[in-house]
Amino acid sequence: MEPESSVPSQRPSRKNYSLATELVFIDNSDGTGVRDLYNASSIPIYQTATFKQSSASRMEDFDYTRSGNPTRSHLENHLAKIMSASRAYVVSSGMSALDVVARLVKTGEEIIAGDDLYGGTNRLLAFLNKNFDIKTHHVDTTNPDALLPYLHPTRTRLILLESPTNPLIKISDIPKIASIVHGRCPNALIVVDNTMMSPYLQRPLEFGADIVIHSGTKYLSGHHDLMAGVIGVKNEVVAEKIYFTINATGCGLTPFESWLLLRGIKTLAVRMEKQQANAIRIAEFLEYHGFKVMYPGLRSHPQYDIHNTMSRGPGAVLSFLTNDVEISERVVETTKLWSISVSFGCVNSLISMPCRMSHASIPAAVRKERGFPEDLIRLCVGIEDANDLIEDLYSALVNANAINVIKQNGYTH
Ligand SMILES: Cc1ncc(COP(=O)(O)O)c(C=O)c1O
Ligand SMILES: N[C@@H](CCSC[C@H](N)C(=O)O)C(=O)O
């Protein structure tokens, strides 16, 4: 059998339209799409558990919704197209997507992952280590050479990257890592959790990744009204394994959630452009006032150039430091327009303290060891008027005395 990472994509590459157009255009005219009897402009919700068959010996395209459903198939075909994947699958949450992919790893095999990544992903990796003897080496993947000591020709199975990372907004050179890993470990798959970017801004399968994951709960849906996970795969052999796990474990996305997600994707480009434009303004405002801001749209970001070679923009999540945990807490609790919430990618703006919220499941000692600052504030920028967002944030920073303290003391970390 050919190595899993070298089988070419069977889907013709996207050429004719810009991505903003492709997001809206549900194309089933090339024969690969799912038939809709009445050419409905909005794909219907096939709210059914089972499908009538015309014969007992041969099942038709759909037999049972856990195994496949037309609404879900429309969504999956659409996602495969916009992610440059040969196959895409949708499951019940982003964590479920990560779990399905993690099931490609057998006991005794190993994972290499970043040292900064979503708290729930860290929790899943720790669980696999404890219960299934699947070890994860956490390394600083901003330096591709840092992977070298951990690469093993047979044991290394997955390289799990976020770029940008959640929440420290670190960037990894995905093409470089892919070429280092594929050259040394034929069994290894590069998996990129691309949730922070969305397929509109970055498509890792186009530059060396084997699998891409999204929490569809975030930008793809855009309205915080559903949970979903997306898996895009380059290789058909891997895709079959992933489909098997989804059917065997029953985590495929429901018809209603599939319909909602399909609806959200159509406005991804306009939402993303506006959210990103707002985020750039806010990042510049914070940097101007002396805060240490982590955002790949700022020239001060250490991997600014690398990020620009892989993506079409910096996205709409940024983090900054106040150098004082209590000040950060006051800032977060004083804003009015920014709601205190976990998650990101929604049309409304959110503010949070990752150490206490989204990343609280990473033990404090581990956070410290990995250089994760407790005063970090994460901003997830929405589509509101940028001036309103800045004004609200400015009032909170003044109220918490954050600007003065930074001016006087600077940073101690
Ligand atoms: C980068 C990243 N990946 C995956 C997940 C998991 O997604 P979900 O909440 O949809 O399970 C999250 C957040 O929850 C995330 O921030
Ligand atoms: N209580 C949840 C926290 C979800 S965090 C959601 C999102 N990924 C974010 O980064 O804000 C949990 O423990 O999983």
Residue 138 forms beta bridges with which residues?
Answer: 113
Ligand 2 contact, 94 CB (< 6 A): no
Residue 1 located in a structural domain: no
Residue 6 has pLDDT above 60, yes or no: no
Same domain assignment for residues 20 and 47? yes
Residue 395 located in a structural domain: yes
pLDDT value of residue 271: 98
Same domain assignment for residues 184 and 122? yes
Examine the residue annotation and report whether 234 is marked as an active-site residue of this protein: no
pLDDT, mean of residues 219-226: 98
pLDDT value of residue 31: 54
Same domain assignment for residues 160 and 25? yes
Residue 5 — pLDDT band, cuts 50, 70, 90?
very low
Handedness of CA 119, 396, 296, 208 (dihedral sign): positive
Same domain assignment for residues 260 and 278? no
DSSP alpha helices (H): ranges in 28-172?
70-83, 94-102, 119-132
Which residue puts its alpha carbon closest to atom 15 of ligand 1?
118
Q: What are phi and psi of 99, to 5 degrees?
A: -65, -45
pLDDT value of residue 117: 97
Residue 278 located in a structural domain: yes
Domain that holds residue 313: 269-409
Same domain assignment for residues 309 and 204? no
Ligand 2 contact, 143 CB (< 6 A): no
Residues present in the chain in total: 413
Strands in 216-354 per DSSP E: 229-233, 292-294, 317-321, 339-340, 350-352
Same domain assignment for residues 239 and 295? no
pLDDT value of residue 3: 46
Q: pLDDT averaged over the chain? A: 94
Residue 9 located in a structural domain: no
Residue 6 located in a structural domain: no
Residue 25 has pLDDT above 90, yes or no: no
pTM, rounded to two decimals: 0.95
pLDDT value of residue 186: 95
pLDDT, mean of residues 111-119: 97
Same domain assignment for residues 305 and 176? no
Q: What pLDDT, in 10s, does the model give residues 166-201?
A: 999 999 999 999 999 999 999 999 999 999 999 999
- Residue 32 Cα to ligand 1 middle (Å): 30
Q: Report yes or no: 189 and 158 within 8 Å, Cβ to Cβ.
A: yes
pLDDT value of residue 218: 98
Same domain assignment for residues 255 and 307? no
pLDDT, mean of residues 260-264: 98
Which residue puts its alpha carbon closest to atom 8 of ligand 2?
343
Q: Which of 197, 232, 265 is the last residue of a domain?
A: 265
Same domain assignment for residues 134 and 275? no
pLDDT value of residue 8: 35
Same domain assignment for residues 405 and 274? yes
Q: Which of 95, 231, 261 to mutate to test the pocket of ligand 1 (most atoms within 8 A of CB)?
A: 95
ipTM of the modeled complex:
0.98
Ligand 1 contact, 191 CB (< 6 A): no
Residue given tokens 């998996």 in the structure block: 191
Considering every ligand atom, which ligand is closest to the CA of 227? 1
Residue 3 located in a structural domain: no
pLDDT value of residue 102: 98
Q: What pLDDT, in 10s, does the model give residues 66-89?
A: 999 999 999 999 999 999 999 999
pLDDT value of residue 10: 39
Which residue puts its alpha carbon closest to atom 2 of ligand 2?
358
> Residue 49: how many CB atoms within 10 A of its CB?
9
Residue 2 located in a structural domain: no
Listed range (26-30, 59-63, 233-237) with the worst mean pLDDT = 26-30
Residue 42 located in a structural domain: yes
Residue 328 has pLDDT above 70, yes or no: yes
pLDDT value of residue 314: 98
Residue 392 belongs to a domain with what CATH number? Answer: 3.90.1150.10
Q: Which of 240, 265, 290 is the last residue of a domain?
A: 265
Which residue puts its alpha carbon closest to atom 6 of ligand 1?
94
**219 vs 217: CA distance, rounded Å:** 7
Residue 100 belongs to a domain with what CATH number? Answer: 3.40.640.10
**57 vs 54: CA distance, rounded Å:** 9
Same domain assignment for residues 178 and 293? no
Q: What pLDDT, in 10s, does the model give residues 399-413?
A: 999 999 888 888 776
Tell which atom from ligand 2 comes closest to the C-alpha of 361: 13
Residue 148 has pLDDT above 50, yes or no: yes
pLDDT value of residue 2: 41
- Residue 101 Cα to ligand 1 middle (Å): 14
pLDDT value of residue 41: 84
Same domain assignment for residues 148 and 288? no
CA distances from 112 to 147, 218, 235, 265, 361 (A): 8, 25, 20, 31, 20
Residues whose CB is less than 8 angstroms from the CB of residue 236 and which lie 6 or more positions away in sequence, other chains included: 7, 10, 86, 87
Q: Which of 246, 265, 284 is the last residue of a domain?
A: 265
pLDDT, mean of residues 256-275: 98
Checking DSSP bridges between strand 211-215 and strand 189-193, what pairing results, if any? parallel
* Total number of domains constituting the chain: 2
Type of residue numbered 207? F
